[in-house]
Amino acid sequence: MEKQELKELLKNIQESEYKVPEGVDPYELSLKMMDNIGDIDSELRDDLILSNLFTWIYENQLSEKQVNELLWIALDENHILKGLGNIDDSVFCRTFSSEIVAACIYRHRMDKFLSKSDIEKAFDILLKFYNEDKDVRGYVEVKGWAHGAAHGADALDEFAKCEEIGYERLKNILDAFYKKININYYGYIHFEDERMITAIKSILEREIIPIEEIEEWIKSFNKIEKVGKYPEDLVIDFNVNMFLKSLYFRLIDIPKYEKIANTAREVLNEISRFK
């Protein structure tokens, strides 16, 4: 199937409220979509492929077995690990594959079809992508959203909600966010911090990591390493400040998290350039 033919088919499906057309095998078409999930055409990649796959996964148009197979395709060397470490167009394949991982893990949380070892293996691959991906661009002119810091956070949020994910891996998520925030070559201006904080809130709701450890983790943002030149130091300051402000405002009105929110405020006051 040629690209234009695929676009027209997916548009027709969208216009029909995502109903599977007669004579179309939804799984075979899903595989074709996975082959094109990293396309630089944002309409195909984002508006059509992602929305169709999300809907079919969420609304049980695909069986548990098929969703399981899509999960491992999304996590393979040709998808979430493709070009890992490069800053080029391969980012679209990685970041949109991570959203498919998020959808598959959501479906598992509803239907419980993956083993604990499968969940842990999938998490470890996703974490490798998140920790090692250097391309954190948000919106790319002409080509659309890459948004790996946000998309990966969406997947980590789904894992954080899984009962199979315990203390060590929840801590791994916090460590991954710390590393992702503490960069000096890109300023997060597309609400990446908010997507990370959604996952952090899911971690808090699990009540596995003691509050004291969460507070120590927040305090560690006072120890960011700077290189002593601009604009690099300003970029990392911006990222950390925006993250802590977002964390504070997300949690301050929730009584059980007020102490955590105030810890974020204290660190903000300590690192502020404007006093």
Domain residue spans in the chain?
Answer: 78-209
One-letter amino acid identity for 14?
Answer: Q
Q: What is the mean pLDDT of residues 63-81?
A: 99
Q: Look at residue 227 in the predicted model and tell me its pLDDT.
A: 87
Q: Look at residue 273 in the predicted model and tell me its pLDDT.
A: 81
Residue ranges of alpha helices (H) inside the chain are 3-15, 26-35, 42, 51-58, 64-74, 90-111, 116-132, 148-160, 167-181, 192-206, 211-219, 232-251, 258-271
Cα(248)–Cα(101) distance, rounded to whole angstroms?
29
pTM above 0.95, yes or no: yes
Q: How confident is the model at residue 3 (pLDDT cuts 50, 70, 90)?
A: very high
pLDDT higher than threshold 90 for residue 24: yes
Q: Look at residue 224 in the predicted model and tell me its pLDDT.
A: 83
Q: Report pLDDT digits (tens) over 183-226.
A: 999 999 999 999 999 999 999 999 999 999 999 999 999 988 88
Among residues 50, 41, 57, 62, which one has the least CA distance to residue 14?
Answer: 50
Do residues 30 and 56 lie in contact, with contact meaning Cβ atoms separated by under 8 Å? yes
Secondary structure of 99-127 in the HEC alphabet? HHHHHHHHHHHHHCCCCHHHHHHHHHHHH
Q: Report pLDDT digits (tens) over 239-263.
A: 999 999 999 999 999 999 999 999 9
Q: Look at residue 215 in the predicted model and tell me its pLDDT.
A: 98
Q: Report pLDDT digits (tens) over 135-155.
A: 999 999 999 999 999 999 999
Instruction: Identify the H or E element spanning 39.
Output: none
pLDDT higher than threshold 80 for residue 274: yes
Q: Look at residue 260 in the predicted model and tell me its pLDDT.
A: 98
Q: Tell me, what DSSP letter sits at residue 223? A: G
